[in-house]
């Protein structure tokens, strides 16, 4: 069963689009979270080598995401407009193919995200964080008003 959820994303050119992302492995979709995962994932692969859209779609499929080109390309264009990716055109089997690679800004963003991802995995996946959060002492909280 493919469960989709409409989300909105900014394509970087001032246009808001509604995208549908199928949930991985039949999990309840939280499309706004998934979009962030997908962006980081795309950036990760584009930081290793130039990648083209259909290869990314196949790779994301391997991870359980079912994205159409109409969903992926606005994400790529948005990342490019934000300065994280740039593309070059290559002629492959008589057809122009756009290859996307991470820019220095994209590499930097990925470096910045890595420790945050590690922490998130430790807490959310491995449950190695605090089991409850202490309530602030009343003396520490600012008086209302």
Site residues for Zn ion per CB under 5 A: 59
SS3 130: coil
Closest contact distance (angstroms) between CB of 19 and Zn ion is 19
- Residue with the closest Cβ to Zn ion? 59
Start-to-end C-alpha separation, the chain: 51
Contact yes or no for 60/52 (Cβ under 8 A) = no
- Report angle CA 88, 92, 97 to the nearest 5 degrees: 40
Closest contact distance (angstroms) between CB of 145 and Zn ion is 51
Contact yes or no for 43/76 (Cβ under 8 A) = no
Closest contact distance (angstroms) between CB of 13 and Zn ion is 27
Pick the closer one to Zn ion by CB: 41 or 86: 41
Pick the closer one to Zn ion by CB: 19 or 57: 57
Closest contact distance (angstroms) between CB of 87 and Zn ion is 19
Pick the closer one to Zn ion by CB: 59 or 66: 59
CA–CA gap between residue 26 and residue 23 (Å, rounded): 6
Pick the closer one to Zn ion by CB: 31 or 60: 60
């Amino acid at each position: 069963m493919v469960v989709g959820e409409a989300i909105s994303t900014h394509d970087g050119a001032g246009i808001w689009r509604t995208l549908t992302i199928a949930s991985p492995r039949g999990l309840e979709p939280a499309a706004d979270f998934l979009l962030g995962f997908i962006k980081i994932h795309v950036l990760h692969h584009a930081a290793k080598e130039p990648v083209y859209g259909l290869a990314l779609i196949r790779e994301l499929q391997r991870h359980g995401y079912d994205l159409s080109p109409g969903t992926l390309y606005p994400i790529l264009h948005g990342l490019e407009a934000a300065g994280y990716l740039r593309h070059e055109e290559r002629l492959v089997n008589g057809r122009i193919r756009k290859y996307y690679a991470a820019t220095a800004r994209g590499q930097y963003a990925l470096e910045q995200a890595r420790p945050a991802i590690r922490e998130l995995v430790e807490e959310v996946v491995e449950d190695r964080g605090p089991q409850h959060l202490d309530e602030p002492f009343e003396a520490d909280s600012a008086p209302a008003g």
